[in-house]
Structure 1
Amino acid sequence: AVGQDTVLINAEILKIENESSQDLIETYKRLIASDGYNTTFHNRVVGNRFLRYYAYDKGRFDSITLTLRNADSTFVKQYKRRPLKDSIQVKKDSIKRDSIKLVNEVKPKLTKAERKAKKLERKAKQKYNSKYGFVPTPHMPEVKNYTRNLTFVGRDSTVALIKIKEFQNGNYEGFYDDTFATLDSLQTKNLIIDLRNNFGGRLNEIDYFYSYLTNENYTFINKSEINGRFPILKSVMTNSNPLALKLVAGLMAPGLAVADLISVSKKDGQLYRRFKPAKEQEPKPLNFKGKLYVIINGNSFSASSILSTQLKGSQRAIFVGEETGGAYNGTVAGLFKIYELPNTKVQLRIGLAQVDSQYKTDIDGYGVKPDVEIIPTYQDRLDDIDPELEWILRAIESKN
């Protein structure tokens, strides 16, 4: 199996079959749409999606030949797809072994108190997983992967580091409430927010997060421009959705229409939809008042870029890393319509609302640019070095 082939660790792929990997990358970059003219998103996201693009491009294949290079040599490896019947047999054998194991195991009968304790334990685990945004990895169940993480770094472990991988998983309010209560109790002076490779997510979550990062009343976004009075209905009643869902939406249409009418207004001939973060709000009582640093890169997109704009425009944070993939002046998002082209069956994801902060830059079509630009090298990755984080820690240490 590829996963057991240690020669592949840190090897560079020069060719896939007879095609240069760099030529394939340049081809697939043209498939990527972003918020503007900057190229950092294209350069970054093509790595995340390369396997998906290659499979769509080439179709199913039974074998693949890779030309690779590591520190010592260039070599060729060929891999063959395991026949389906073999995969099915392996699965059957696994199920059989598990069945025999279950038969042989005699589970002790639990008392009422033990059953209650088990139930409470499951609920506590579910609450914890929701708060931190647990992401299951079926092929590696031993890996505990969470969306939201708080750690302490630096020489004396007093610098707080919040790493958010995405803004769309679990009960975010509990995480931010507990996190900033902890920072307040520890009188933390320096906070680093890591938004690298964060493709975005929920608008309400970044609004809630920001309420802990400012000590002033604020309006997180402007009212969003739209081109129809019924954006919710438009997003649901699309040809890519199954008929059953559209029938349910049809039954709910009066209620959805009322929700649209309440949130949609017209000014100077333009329709606007007001999302909750478009209202003026107060900061949280335990808002962080210390020094704030934000790490960004080309994969900081959509919601993470909107949050970055708000922090950059309000001069709340020092930004380190690479220009965000998402545009400074906003993005078309909020609500989406998935439309399927009738002949090719290609699905298009179309944003229905302009989402932007009150802060703008004169040069349109580019992302949030770092105050200190640091782009990791290939050698940094090999040596497990994080140059952006190390720069921030040195800056904090020098001030101390």
Structure 2
Amino acid sequence: MMKDTMKKTLFLIISLILWSCVSVEQHNKKLETPITPQQLKKDVDFAYEKLQKLHPKLYWYVSKEKLDYKFDSLKKTINQPLKPSEFFLKLAPVIADVKEGHLRLVPLEKKLTKKETKRLKNQKGTLGRLNYVIEDHRLYIKDNAEKIGNLKVGTEILKINDIPVTQILEKYRPLVTSDGYNTTYHKYSLARRFNTFFSLEYGILDSVKVEAQHKDSLKTIVLKRETKTKTEKKKEKQDQKLTEEKKTKGYNPVTKSYNRDLQFLDKDSSIAYMKIKTFSGTYSKKFYKNSFALLKKAGTETLIIDIRDNLGGSLVEINNLYSYFAKEKFKFIKDIEVSSRTSILTTDYLKNFPTVTKPLGVISYPIYMLVSVIGTKKKDGKYYLMDLFPSKKPKADAFYGKTYVLINGSSFSASSIISAKFKADGLATLVGEETGGANDGTVAGIYSTQKLPNSKMKLPIGLFLIQPNIEMTNTMKGVTPNVEIIPTLDEILRKKDVQLDWVLKDISTKK
């Protein structure tokens, strides 16, 4: 009996391993299999139909006539079979023409076997280990903490595997979009994502040939994947252990830095600097509670909030953060608009549940459905989720000193919403560059991920129109700063923070 059970268990394990290998092989084979024009055109129609049905403000930045024309024109160019990757490069720019920064087509990626996954986990990458800045369609190294290939900060990457970088950037630029007619976000987003696009097109390479120039010096080097040392692996494990401080400040083991931090910039604690890299929501409540209690106790007069390069995140977190500045009861965002009474039932509901608690998600789904339908009200011919974010009172430890907020083109989504609210209510002086996210809100929140039937690519569609509770500017652009200061390439590469310097000088002058 025992032997039979063991045999069955062994057979099941072997079957699962073989099925997994076949599944990976079949998936990867599809990546190289051209799809007929008829099937691709059906995918184009499918994508547009789902956008029209689920997106709450599809024609915000582009008219229906123009978008109809773009989708029709795309279909006319599809007259021969295309691989999924080739089709992606055709459809993604049209999706980007909607001009919603959160809306993007997700390409198919090559699946890895368990053996390949294990090997890559123990290796350090190539181009992805560098940080970049783009200026005038050229790519420069902004940071090289590990001194890969001895490439100095400020080095311009001219070619990758003999392909001119200008050509690479030109190819990927149409895949990147921001909210509305904002342009400041593009170069930041492309600098972050160009390596991802490159890997999707050419695969995960073990080595990359790079031609680079620093000042007048030209050189060609080969960047190779390196195996992590035992010391590095041990340090990674230590970094992943969460202390109370790491939890509260949101420690990121990849960047080896805190997500949020507060420090005083002078001896008498009259000037404080709060850096928030992302509104992750995790443990943020405790961080703000501790921070603003400390500011009150220290008698801080001026607070600088730095949300440059903050791509957004939790609405709950920014609502809570704003309550530390409001002088009276406030409503942070307007009632959320959706496309129909039932659109949020198409959301990726179970994705929010870890594998262990998915059964709980299945059980609770009928309740979610009921609450969603009942909570959606029709008003003036549109559908809204009423009072999802009700009015809120200011915190007891609210800060009423002078507040500056540092922003740039990579301040996106939730960062733009709180910036717009700060500016409209006159509670802070915004310094820096126009934000990448729109002043009048964005479409995001929860998503309904639609899989295109033939190419199998995914199209996550935001279901919520989220707008700060302010008088709309209708500029179709980002939040503009009260004081515009845009650093030059040289200042960025020399780590000269001209925006923070201006704030400190302004504080000193007014003192």
Q: Quick one: structure 1 residues 128 and 242, their matched pair in 2 at CA, closer, same or farther if it must change by over 3 Å? A: closer
| Residue number among 65, 78, 81 corresponding to 2:209 in the alignment | 65
Offset at residue 48 of structure 1 (A): 1.2
Counterpart for residue 265 of structure 1: 377
Matched with 2:485 is: 374
Structure 2 counterpart of 1:164: 276
Pair 177,242 (structure 1): closer, same or farther in 2 beyond 3 Å: closer
**Structure-2 residue corresponding to 1:331:** 442
Displacement after TM superposition at 1:127 (Å) = 3.3
* 1:210-221 superposed matches below 5 A: 210-221=322-333
For the pair 1:8 / 2:151, whether they are aligned, the reply is: yes
Alignment of 1:7-156 (within 5 A): 7-10=150-153, 11-81=155-225, 94=230, 126-137=243-254, 143=256, 145-153=257-265
Question: Which residue does 1:174 correspond to in 2?
Answer: 286
CA distance in 2, matches of 1:192, 1:242: 37
Cα pair 2:251 2:259 within 8 Å, conserved:
yes
Q: Distance in 1 between matches of 2:317 and 2:300?
A: 23
Name the CA shift for 1:363/1:232 in 2 (closer, same or farther; >3 Å): closer
Task: Please give the residue correspondences for 1:193-342 in structure 2 after superposition, counting only pairs within 5 Å.
Answer: 193-236=305-348, 249-274=361-386, 276-277=388-389, 279-342=390-453
Give the gaps of 5 or more residues in structure 2: 1-123, 127-145, 235-239
TM-score norm. by structure 1 comes to 0.82
Q: Report the identity percentage.
A: 37
Does the residue aligned with 1:77 lie in a helix, a strand or coil? strand
The Cα shift of 1:6 comes to 5.7
Cα deviations across residues 7-36 of structure 1 (Å, max 9, x unaligned)? Answer: 302121112123222332232221123221
SS of residue matched to 1:281: coil
Question: Is the CA contact 2:311–2:415 (under 8 Å) kept in the aligned structure 1?
Answer: yes
Report the count of equivalent residues: 360
Structure 1 stretch displaced more, 195-204 or 343-352:
343-352
Distance in structure 1 (CA, Å) of the matches to 2:400 and 2:438: 27
1:354 is matched with 465
Residues 248-287 of structure 1 show CA distances to partners (whole Å, capped at 9, x for unaligned) of: 655433211122134321112211013542x121111111
Distance change (3 Å), C-alpha of 1:68 and 1:209: same
**Residue type of the partner of 1:46?**
L
Q: Structure 1 pair 4/128, CA: closer, same or farther in 2 (3 Å)?
A: closer
Q: Is the Cα contact below 8 Å between 2:407 and 2:434 reproduced in 1?
A: yes
8 A contact 1:153–1:161 mirrored in 2: yes
Contact 2:281 2:316 in 1 (8 A): no
Q: Return the alpha-carbon distance in structure 2 between the equivalents of residues 42 and 238 of structure 1.
A: 32
Contact 2:435–2:479 (8 Å) recurs in 1: yes
The residue type paired with residue 216 of structure 1 is: E
Relative to structure 1, the CA distance from residue 371 to residue 52 in structure 2 (aligned partners, 3 Å threshold; closer, same or farther) is: same
C-alpha displacement at 1:334, in angstroms? Answer: 1.7
CA distance in 2, matches of 1:335, 1:171: 21
Instruction: State how far apart, in whole Å, the 2-side matches of 1:134 and 1:8 are.
Output: 28
| Unmatched runs of 5 consecutive residues or more in structure 1 | 99-121
Please tell me the root mean square deviation across aligned C-alpha atoms, in Å: 3.0
Change in Cα spacing, 1:396 to 1:66, as seen in structure 2 (3 Å) is same
Distance in 2 (CA, whole Å) between partners of 1:23 and 1:74 is 19
